[in-house]
């Protein structure tokens, strides 16, 4: 933490200078039309507000930036817009800065304009995605700097970091922040008091061994009529796309609506189940290597208005805390099954392929309902060490370990209990998948009635999924490193909440 006498906006220390600046983003120059020949508005001298006319740049944050970050964080307007509105003590903030700079899954940059530090942007990394945070100094707000800073961050994320998806959660009444994100290219929709925004890298980077996308599939839906527009792979539908889906659906006769439901019910689906942070994305990517399997362009929960989102329900990553919303069985009729079939099937990448795969973590506790709607379904569940999962959720979300372990235990307990009522269910372990891809490929092929050979391409893919270093690499089991982050008291806390399921799956403190 820097000395409190240092002015937070003055020159950088040697560490900052060594870090340099990257990914400059040109801010809008519209205000220049009102300026004189000396480059500033007539009648007054340049100040921080005139940074809007300059180039915005990012530099990696250092310990020396701690005081400025603290001041920006405790600004009343910032606290009002934050999900944690309390005022942070300097000592607590100093610990946060130290921990954040040491974390492999977090990146913090200082936003600069005209050589002045005017804010910060942050990425909290997860798999090949990240959650974005931004906070500008009070005197820098309302000058158009926010969108430029976000564009610079996007260049960093989709460039050197190789990410595929950026997400942000903003209070619905925070118009300034919502406007900045949308000007930077983010799109999304609100659920309750929260608006969830998403930006996807142009095109989807694929591993060299991934099957090349096939030509555009069918142009006719069941009963005739053009299919709705399809979003880019791994991109949730924008508001405009969703509105087009709504218009298309509203224009269908009841018989044609039922035809979509009947068509989807006849198709064989593959649903990937598992608690978040358990390797569901790895398993989904592996299935996507097979030419007989098509994937949806994103998690199914983001491709429809009909299913609740954990973030919108106030329980990101711990959706078992709202069983009243996410738990569904055969008796549920809350969702229009025909419309859900339309939303999903019409957006499948290659709907003529034999199998359609879908993955949304809350599917783990609504598999029985999914089987009722899609009777030809197969369910493949993946489970990972509860110690590692709890540590991962704790590290990424900041929840206490007992809460994380409770979620892991309940999600897996419901999943296993429901599996007894599923016609086709297969359970694989994250640890087995990472240790022996050919063996798991053989098991998956036999279960789905497919040649397992194409699934072996997954072995050579380079991903950042569950990569604690946030760097592209071949598949690695990170359980040992997660366990190393846990103390004996931490392990006790996890076992207090999840002991039955840890024992059920054979997970011990030493690893598997």
What one-character-per-residue DSSP string does 426-492 give? EEEEHHHHHH-HHHHHHHHHHHHTS-SGGGGGGGG--B-TT-TT-S-BS----HHHHHHT--HHHHH
CA torsion 256-258-263-268 (nearest 10°) is 160
b vs e for 174-188, b when ≥16 Cβ sit within 10 Å of the residue's Cβ?
Answer: beebbebbbebbbbb
Residues 117, 51: Cα–Cα separation, whole Å = 10
Q: b/e map of 147-170 (b: 16 or more CB within 10 Å)?
A: bbbbbbbbbbbbeebbbbbbbbbb
Helix pair 145-158, 175-183: axis angle to 10 deg: 50
Q: Which residue shows structure tokens 């994103």?
A: 298
> pTM above the 0.85 mark?
no
Work out the angle at residue 348's Cα, subtended by the Cα atoms of residues 346 and 351, and round it to the nearest 5 degrees.
Answer: 90
**CB contact at 8 A, 221 and 231:** no
Question: What DSSP character marks residue 350?
Answer: S
Give the distance, in angstroms, between the CA of residue 152 and the centroid of all CA atoms in the same chain. 20
Q: What is the pLDDT along the chain (512 residues), one digit of tens a residue?
A: 444 333 333 333 333 333 344 444 433 333 343 344 334 444 433 344 333 334 688 899 998 998 999 999 888 887 777 777 678 888 888 888 988 888 888 899 999 887 789 999 999 988 678 899 999 998 888 888 889 999 999 988 888 888 888 888 888 888 888 888 988 888 876 656 778 888 887 644 333 333 333 333 333 344 433 334 333 344 455 677 778 888 889 999 999 999 999 999 999 999 999 999 999 989 998 998 899 999 988 899 989 999 999 988 889 999 999 999 999 999 999 999 999 999 999 888 788 889 999 999 999 999 999 999 999 999 999 999 999 999 999 988 889 999 999 999 999 999 999 999 999 999 999 999 999 999 999 999 999 999 999 998 887 765 544 444 444 445 677 788 888 999 999 999 999 999 999 999 999 886 44
**CA–CA distances in Å: residue 248 to residues 139, 225, 251:** 46, 9, 5
- Let me know the angle formed at the C-alpha of 428 by 422 and 434, rounded to the nearest 5 degrees: 160
Instruction: For residue 188, give Cα distances in angstroms to 145, 155, 170, 192, 196.
Output: 21, 20, 10, 13, 6
The confidence score (pLDDT) of residue 466 equals: 45
**β-strands 355-359, 378-383: how paired?**
unpaired
Residue 201: its pLDDT value, please? 76
The encoded tokens of residue 484 equal 């190393």
Question: What b/e string do you get for 113-127 counting C-beta neighbours within 10 Å, with b at 16 or more?
Answer: bbebbbbbbbbbbbb
Q: Cα separation of 511 and 477, whole Å?
A: 11
59 contacts 21 by C-beta, under 8 angstroms = yes
Nearest CA-CA partner of 189 in 237, 234, 247, 150: 237
pLDDT the model gives residue 510: 66
* Sequence-ordered list of residues with C-beta below 8 angstroms from that of 275, at least 6 positions apart, any chain: 361, 364, 383, 384, 389, 407, 408, 411, 412, 415
Please, what are the domains in the chain? 14-200 (3.40.630.30), 253-505 (3.40.50.300)
Q: What's the CA gap between 181 and 229, in Å, rounded? A: 24
Which tokens go with 470? 């946030």
Tokens representing 161?
A: 């970091």
Q: Are strands 55-60 and 355-359 parallel, antiparallel or unpaired?
A: unpaired
What integer pLDDT is reported at residue 417 of this predicted model?
Answer: 98
Residue recorded with tokens 């649903």: 271
């Amino acid at each position: 933490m820097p000395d409190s006498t240092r002015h937070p906006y003055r020159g950088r220390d040697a560490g900052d200078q060594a870090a340099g600046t990257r990914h400059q983003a040109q801010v809008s120059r519209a205000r220049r039309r009102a300026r004189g020949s000396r480059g500033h508005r007539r009648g007054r001298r340049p100040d921080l507000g005139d940074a809007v006319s300059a180039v915005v740049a990012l530099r990696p944050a250092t310990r020396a930036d701690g005081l400025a970050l603290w001041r920006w964080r405790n600004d009343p307007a910032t606290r009002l817009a934050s999900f944690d509105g309390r005022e942070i003590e300097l000592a607590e903030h100093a610990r946060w800065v130290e921990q954040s700079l040491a974390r492999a899954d977090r990146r913090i940059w200082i936003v600069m304009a005209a050589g002045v530090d005017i804010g910060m942007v942050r990425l909290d990394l997860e798999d090949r995605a990240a959650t974005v945070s931004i906070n500008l100094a009070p005197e820098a707000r309302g000058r158009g700097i926010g969108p430029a800073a976000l564009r610079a961050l996007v260049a960093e994320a989709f460039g050197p970091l190789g990410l595929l998806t950026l997400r942000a959660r903003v209070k619905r009444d925070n118009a300034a922040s919502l406007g900045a994100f949308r000007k930077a290219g983010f799109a999304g929709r609100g659920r309750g008091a929260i608006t969830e925004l998403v930006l996807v890298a142009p095109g989807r980077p694929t591993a060299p061994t991934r099957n090349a996308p096939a030509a555009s599939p069918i142009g006719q839906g069941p009963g005739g009529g053009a299919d709705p527009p399809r979003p880019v792979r791994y991109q949730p539908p924008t508001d405009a796309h969703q509105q087009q889906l709504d218009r298309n659906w509203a224009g269908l006769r009841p018989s044609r609506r039922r035809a979509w439901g009947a068509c989807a019910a006849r198709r064989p689906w593959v649903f990937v189940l598992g608690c978040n942070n358990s390797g569901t994305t790895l398993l989904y990517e592996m299935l996507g290597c097979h030419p007989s399997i098509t994937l949806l362009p994103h998690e199914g929960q983001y491709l429809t208005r009909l299913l609740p989102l954990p973030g919108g329900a106030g329980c990101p990553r711990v959706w078992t805390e709202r069983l009243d919303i996410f738990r569904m069985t055969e008796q549920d009729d809350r969702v229009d099954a025909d419309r859900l079939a339309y939303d999903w099937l019409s957006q499948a990448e290659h709907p003529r392929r034999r199998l359609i795969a879908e993955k949304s973590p809350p599917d783990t506790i609504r598999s029985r309902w999914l089987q009722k709607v899609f009777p030809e379904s197969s369910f493949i569940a993946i489970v990972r060490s509860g110690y590692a999962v709890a540590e991962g959720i704790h590290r990424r979300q900041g929840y206490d370990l007992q809460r994380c372990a409770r979620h892991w235990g309940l999600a897996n307990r419901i999943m296993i209990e429901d599996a007894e009522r599923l016609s086709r269910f297969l359970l694989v372990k994250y640890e087995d998948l990472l240790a022996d891809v050919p063996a798991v490929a053989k098991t998956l092929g036999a279960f789905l009635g497919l040649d397992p050979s194409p699934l072996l391409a997954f072995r050579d893919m380079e991903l950042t999924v569950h990569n604690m270093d946030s760097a592209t690499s071949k598949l690695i089991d990170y359980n040992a490193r997660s366990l190393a982050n846990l103390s004996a008291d931490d392990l006790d806390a996890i076992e207090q909440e999840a002991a039955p399921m840890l024992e059920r799956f054979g997970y011990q403190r030493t690893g598997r």
